[in-house]
């Protein structure tokens, strides 16, 4: 991956100040969420990874729309590899967001906000979940750029898609096999939520179900990335 291009993308995005709305709202969320102590270990993970998904998806949208069209064209010509250009853009978004994932975990750890101390394996679970959910958010959000959608349609469609993904319809209508099956086609957010819902303060065991979640999340994100690159390459031909 082109490190110089990633640095350029992040600097360009920061200068555009498009990050301010999602970042300000996310910081406000953290301030409210960690105001009360103690907090449930796994209920907190559920709440924060939903917030991280929204943040990541929103940043993904604003990041890919931050670069001027002419500048995008110049950058692609300079790189001379459109696949590398798009992969570097996605890597830049993730690199920008990782500090927010770390802060979200460090605040309650430093403050001692949890009902008990986390095991090292549970800290690992927290960060992996944050990273994977964040990556899913990014790979969903990048599709709502001005090359694919335009104007208010992009905003409204993005809000609708994110709402469908984060609302636990599979738990609300667990007797409806069609809805439950349909959720297998969406990012696996609420399947993890269902497991956390029953765990309370118990110890989280890294088992085959968690490994399946990790592999499924990575596979889902990679599939969206490949699809995004194909769509953008087709768009840029015309």
Alpha helices in the chain (DSSP H): 3-16, 20-33, 41-64, 69-79, 82-111, 120-141, 151-166, 169-172, 177-182, 189-197, 208-235
Nearest to residue 78, comparing CAs of 136, 9, 18, 140? 9
**101 contacts 52 by C-beta, under 8 angstroms:** yes
Burial of 1 (0-12, 13-18, 19+ CB in 10 A): exposed
Nearest to residue 67, comparing CAs of 14, 121, 123, 124? 14
> How many domains in the chain?
1
Nearest to residue 197, comparing CAs of 7, 44, 52? 44
Which pLDDT score is estimated for 56?
A: 96
Which pLDDT score is estimated for 14?
A: 93
CA distance 117 to 127: 16
Which pLDDT score is estimated for 137?
A: 95
Contacts of 49 (CB under 8 A, 6+ apart): 129, 130, 133, 189, 192
Q: Which domain holds residue 67?
A: 3-235
Give 39's strand partners.
Answer: 114
**192 contacts 213 by C-beta, under 8 angstroms:** yes
Classified as helix, coil or strand, 175 is coil
Query: pLDDT of the chain along its 238 residues, tens only?
Result: 567 889 999 999 999 889 999 999 999 999 998 888 788 888 888 889 899 999 999 999 999 888 777 777 788 778 778 888 899 999 999 999 999 999 999 999 998 888 888 888 888 988 999 999 999 999 999 999 877 877 677 788 888 889 888 887 666 666 767 776 777 788 888 777 766 766 666 677 777 778 888 899 999 999 999 999 999 888 766 5
């Amino acid at each position: 991956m082109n490190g110089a291009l990633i640095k350029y993308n992040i600097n360009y995005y920061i200068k555009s100040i498009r990050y301010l709305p999602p970042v300000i709202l996310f910081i406000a969320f953290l301030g409210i969420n960690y105001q009360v102590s103690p907090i449930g270990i796994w209920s907190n993970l559920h709440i924060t990874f939903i917030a991280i998904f929204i943040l990541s998806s929103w940043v993904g949208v604003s990041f890919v729309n931050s670069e001027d069209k002419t500048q995008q064209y110049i950058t692609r010509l300079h790189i001379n590899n459109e696949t590398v250009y798009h992969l570097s853009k996605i890597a830049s978004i993730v690199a920008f967001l990782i500090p927010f994932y770390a802060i979200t975990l460090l605040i309650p750890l430093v403050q001692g906000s949890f009902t008990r101390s986390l095991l090292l394996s549970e800290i690992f679970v927290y960060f992996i979940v944050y990273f994977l959910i964040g990556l899913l958010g990014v790979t969903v959000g990048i599709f709502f750029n001005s090359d694919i959608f335009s104007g208010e349609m992009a905003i409204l469609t993005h809000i609708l898609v994110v709402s469908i993904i984060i609302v636990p319809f599979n738990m609300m209508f667990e007797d409806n096999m069609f809805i439950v099956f349909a959720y297998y086609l969406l990012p696996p957010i609420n399947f993890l939520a269902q497991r956390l819902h029953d765990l309370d303060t118990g110890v989280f065991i890294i088992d085959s179900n968690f490994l399946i979640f990790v592999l499924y999340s990575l596979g889902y994100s990679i599939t969206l990335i490949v699809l995004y690159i194909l769509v953008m390459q087709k768009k840029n031909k015309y």
